[in-house]
Structure 1
Amino acid sequence: MGKELASFKSVMKSFMVLIVTALAMGETLALAPDLLKGNQMVASVFEVLDRKTEVSGDTGEDLTTVDGTIELRDIKFCYPSRPEVVIFKDFNLKVRSGKSMALVGQSGSGKSSVISLILRFYDPTAGKVLIDGKDIKRLKIKSLRKHIGLVQQEPALFATTIYENILYGKEGATESEVIEAAKLANAHSFISALPEGYSTKVGERGVQLSGGQRQRVAIARAVLKNPEILLLDEATSALDVESERVVQQALDRLMKNRTTVIVAHRLSTIKNADQISVIQDGKIIEQGTHSTLIENKNGAYYKLINIQQQQQQQQ
């Protein structure tokens, strides 16, 4: 009887071990898709970290003082991912120090590519991008971008407080400087009205704020940075009329006495620019002020503005 009981216990133990093992294996197999995804994600992260960039800016000259004259000279450019598509061929553009240049044209004409080249996100295949006559390839990238402010259509906000998002514009800035920047950006009033004020968390990519509020926080960051060169890439195109009005007021303050390149299609954003360049198929086909360009009823600028006004009337 004792032997049979011992045998029965042994069988039960083996059975329990098999059950536990089966359950563990089942849970492990259930996690297999997640483990596979995690492995693929880690591999993609290391792929980015290990990638060697063609734009090298660790060595070179420090850019200490900037007047702000920008020149793109004899530029030829193709995106590395699409080398067969020529964006620019013998492209030339000059923006004088302290002046504003608006770039207009249809989608895909090359407007935002100008911004990317000035920031040196890419290097041209041929030709030079010059700041105050200096080839930016000979400058340290960090030193170059220190003097450039960028406000995009969809601003890059981080999942932290409004205060820290503005502070990102200038390391070591005081609280009074941050608040003054927010006031100049027409952001102080809405920030102060929030329950936690400047300590309000904006959420991932600023989802807790409206489009106009996000844009004003981004402008406050640019004001705090106080750059000599300002790049505006469709900064108001995603906003409603009222938000656009408030943001445009802030941009007008920010643009004052700075070299500014504006990529936009809304008349309210470009009409006061010192110069307007109409780009088509990677070439400048018209250039002048709003008042001179609008007189040419056969010109590309007049047609673009006319189409825009018709669309607004239909809305």
Structure 2
Amino acid sequence: MESLTPLLASALGAAIPLLLAALGELIAERAGVLNLGLEGMMLLGALASFMTVANGGSLPLAVLVGMAVGVLASLVFGFVTITLQANQVAAGLSLTILGSGITAVLGRPYVGFSAPSSFAPLPIPYLQDLPLLGASFFSLDLLGYAALVLLWVVMWFLRHTRAGLTLKAVGESPVVARSLGLHVTRVRYAAVAFGGALSGLAGTYYSVAQFKMWQDGLTSGNGWIALALVVFATWRPHRVAIGALLFGSVTALGLYFQAIGIKVSTFALASLPYLATVVVLVVLSSNQETIRRHAPAWLGKPFYDDA
């Protein structure tokens, strides 16, 4: 039991940024917009928040700046794909490349430096003493608790609000939604901006909560894993949480093997999350009916809203 406690804690720590980014992408895709630029937005948010604390800014300001940069990047993507109706796949890939390039250049002076201030764990009294769960679920930092709250908010929003039904309607058939008087373009922009905010927050978690430093490619391709999580979850928030924890567990296995003395190549351990992603996508693609049944019908398709 004692040896499993750090494994679960590490798995949850690795799952939190995946959960944040995947929840944001889920909302965007529910509106019919496929944004493949998660990796770029996460990197931009991570660098922006790290630069904020490195130059004397407070942690709340770092969070706001990281989310704001993610929103700004997502709105650029939204303008290109929603207003100009460019191909969403190409625009998303361009956003990832752009984000990687910008952070590599602007982040060069900060490479290798530790964050002057960072989020520390905030154990919940009494609950932190629970075996196994206490050191993981009840000893998170502020951003970790915020991720769990956001999970509940997104679930409630999609199931119990008029706005959630509107979002689903736009993703399923913007033509019908427009005929009912719904503003398709506004809904899509709002969904894309929300996805950008959570991607920026995920990047902030990496730079000032988990790693507490900056280096090129800090997110290590986890934006692509977050994208795969949305498909794995068949566009349902609670399954996103389960998938994030599973992928986080795969990531944490490397540290666990080292802790218990199992000698495995570090390169092999580092590749496990990506191999798991490939396996999951191959398995899911073998059942096209499941994806077709749950995916938003208008996902990735442009729509001209003349309102």
TM-score (norm 1): 0.22
Q: Give the structure with higher Rg (CA).
A: 1
In terms of fraction of residues, the more strand-rich structure is 1
Larger RCO: Structure 1 or Structure 2 (Cα < 8 Å, ≥ 6 residues apart)? Answer: 2
TM-score (norm 2): 0.22
In terms of fraction of residues, the more helix-rich structure is 2
